[in-house]
Amino acid sequence: MAKAAPGEQMRLLDVQVLDGKLRALDVQAKALKEDPRLPDLHSGVTVAKSDLVVLDTAVSDAQRALTKAEDDVAAVVTRINRDEAKLNSGSGLSKDLMALQSEIESLTKRRSELEDTELENMEAFEEATARQGAQRELVTQMQSVLDGVVDEIRSKLGGLKMERDATLSERAELAATFAPELLAIYDRSLAKYGVGAARLFHGKSEGSGMQLSAGDLADIKKATPETIVFCPDSGAILVRSEEWG
């Protein structure tokens, strides 16, 4: 069985403290990245932007309809002005002048109808523009909230990374003071079970939180202090001390 001085085994608990801290930092980082606010905020912004695209299209359609109505009115006004100029000149046959008069009356009626359509299209354009503006403001507000949450998460993640880097550096310095063989055993337990070393305290393994059986405790008591023993439940190196018995 592998052996190491009891004092060296005891110092493994210092490494475990740092590894526990690293694990806790990773859990915090994972929780931040999975912030429950993010899915709803992302979904809300996506829907709001999609609705804005629909309203943008409605404004474009209303603008085209208004432009066409304005052009139609302008064309009729041009024809009325032209006919009135001819009529006012008094030149031409009487029947032609009467025809011009009749056409002017017809065009004037048409102009009134087109101006009504123009007014309706203008109101529709203004309404569509108002809805577009309100939706654009909503998108801006929702995006601002999302950006704020993302910035908050990034800031916290940055703080966690700094703390993790410092802990890794401290861990590397401490690990360098151990015999490679002992640290390799510890690292294997850590990688396989998530706990590298734990106290055996009054018959209870702090690696698993479980009370060891009488048989397991008897076997451990038979081992010399230099013998490395393992928790039967967590797989961690069990660090023993007479004071903890």
Give the CATH number, domain containing residue 129. 1.10.287.1700
Tell me, what's the pLDDT at 102?
87
Whole-number Å distance between alpha carbons of 28 and 45:
26
Instruction: Quote the mean pLDDT of the chain.
Output: 94
**What mean pLDDT comes out for the span 112-139?**
97
Say if residue 23 is in the same domain as residue 65: no
106 CB neighbour count, 10 Å cutoff: 13
Whole-number Å distance between alpha carbons of 184 and 194:
14
Say if residue 153 is in the same domain as residue 40: yes
Whole-number Å distance between alpha carbons of 138 and 85:
54
Say if residue 23 is in the same domain as residue 42: no
Four-CA torsion 169, 171, 176, 179, nearest 10 degrees: -170
Say if residue 40 is in the same domain as residue 156: yes
Instruction: Flag whether pLDDT at 228 surpasses 90.
Output: yes
Q: Give the DSSP H or E segment for 93.
A: none
Q: Per-residue confidence at 98, pLDDT binned at 50, 70, 90?
A: confident
Say if residue 202 is in the same domain as residue 136: no
Express each pLDDT in 167-217 by its tens digit.
Answer: 999 999 999 999 999 999 999 999 998 999 999 999 999 999 999 999 999
Asked, for residue 172, whether it belongs to a domain, the answer is no
On whether the CB atoms of residues 54 and 231 are closer than 8 A, the answer is: no
- 239 forms beta bridges with 199
Asked, for residue 169, whether it belongs to a domain, the answer is no
Say if residue 64 is in the same domain as residue 18: no
Say if residue 18 is in the same domain as residue 41: no
- 205 forms beta bridges with 200
What domain range is 159 assigned to?
35-163
Tell me, what's the pLDDT at 84?
87
What is the Cβ-side half-sphere exposure of residue 233, based on CA atoms within 13 angstroms? 15
**What mean pLDDT comes out for the span 84-90?**
79
Say if residue 136 is in the same domain as residue 45: yes
Tell me, what's the pLDDT at 129?
98
Tell me, what's the pLDDT at 85?
83
**What mean pLDDT comes out for the span 97-122?**
91
Tell me, what's the pLDDT at 245?
65
On whether the CB atoms of residues 217 and 194 are closer than 8 A, the answer is: no
Q: Which of 163, 189, 205 is the last residue of a domain?
A: 163
Instruction: Flag whether pLDDT at 93 surpasses 70.
Output: no
Instruction: Flag whether pLDDT at 1 surpasses 80.
Output: no
Say if residue 136 is in the same domain as residue 198: no
Tell me, what's the pLDDT at 97?
72
Q: Per-residue confidence at 63, pLDDT binned at 50, 70, 90?
A: very high
What does DSSP assign to residue 235? -
Say if residue 129 is in the same domain as residue 213: no
Whole-number Å distance between alpha carbons of 118 and 205:
85
Q: Per-residue confidence at 90, pLDDT binned at 50, 70, 90?
A: low
Scanning the chain, the segments in alpha helix (DSSP H) are 6-33, 37-89, 94-175, 180-193, 214-222
